[in-house]
């Protein structure tokens, strides 16, 4: 009797589609819930005060500059609250990016892109690599994704 792989291949494809759907559903939840904590204090008050300052620092001095970092430090407890509440930030985890899931990474990556568009700057993966101790491998994956998405 000759083996026909058609049924096994169809079953495999179906399972992969189901697993992708599970990941997509979680991403859709993250999409809807993203940064909702910014609308409530202590974050709302902090962002009202500091968002123009950090936007200026990034445009004038660059993402990751001393001036940019000074703004982050000035945001204080409210920014720490934001990181504690939102797991798409490496600061949410004791071991930074290494504590994140693939879903967290996708949300973080999209968050970085959105911030760069809002600030009128480029997506600065090099600065994020340094800031968060990103591995060379993950850095290359992000660079490949930028290329694939034409960002």
The Cα–Cα gap between 129 and 74 comes to: 22
Length in residues, the chain: 151
Where in the chain are the domains? 1-33, 36-86, 96-151
- For residue 107, the SS3 value is helix
CB 38 within 8 A of CB 79: no
Three-state SS at 94:
coil
Among positive and negative, which fits the CA dihedral 91, 93, 98, 100? negative
Per-residue pLDDT reduced to its tens digit, 48-89: 999 999 999 988 998 889 999 999 999 999 999 999 999 999
Average pLDDT over residues 107-131: 92
Give the predicted TM-score (pTM) of the model: 0.92
């Amino acid at each position: 009797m000759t083996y026909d792989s058609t049924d096994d291949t169809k079953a495999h494809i179906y399972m992969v589609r189901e697993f992708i759907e599970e990941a997509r559903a979680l991403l859709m939840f993250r999409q809807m819930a993203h940064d909702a904590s910014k609308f409530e204090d202590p974050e709302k008050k902090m962002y009202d005060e500091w968002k123009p300052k950090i936007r200026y620092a990034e445009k004038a001095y660059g993402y990751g500059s001393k001036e940019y970092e000074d703004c982050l430090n000035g945001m204080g407890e409210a920014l720490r609250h934001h990181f504690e509440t939102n797991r798409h930030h490496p600061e949410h985890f004791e071991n930074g990016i290494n504590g994140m899931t693939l879903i967290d990474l996708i949300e973080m990556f999209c968050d970085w892109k959105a911030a760069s568009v809002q600030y009128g700057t480029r997506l600065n993966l090099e600065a994020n690599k340094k800031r968060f101790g990103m591995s060379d491998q993950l850095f290359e994956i992000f660079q490949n994704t930028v290329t694939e998405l034409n960002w």
